[in-house]
Amino acid sequence: MREGEIKMRASRYLSEKEMLQKGIDVLLDALGPVETVRFLNISRDKRIESVKRHRMWQKSLKKDDFINEIVK
Q: Kindly report, residue by residue over 12-64, the tens digit of the pLDDT.
A: 888 999 999 999 999 999 999 999 999 999 887 777 788 888 888 888 888 88
Sign of CA dihedral 48, 50, 55, 60: positive
Q: Is 6 among the domain residues?
A: no
Give helix then strand counts, H and E, for the chain: 3, 0
In a domain, 7, yes or no: no
Q: Tell me if 2 is assigned to some domain.
A: no
pLDDT band at 69 (very low <50, low <70, confident <90, very high): confident
Residue 4 in domain: no
Whether 10 is in a domain gets the answer no
Q: What is the extent of the structural domain holding 44?
A: 16-70
Count of domains forming the chain = 1
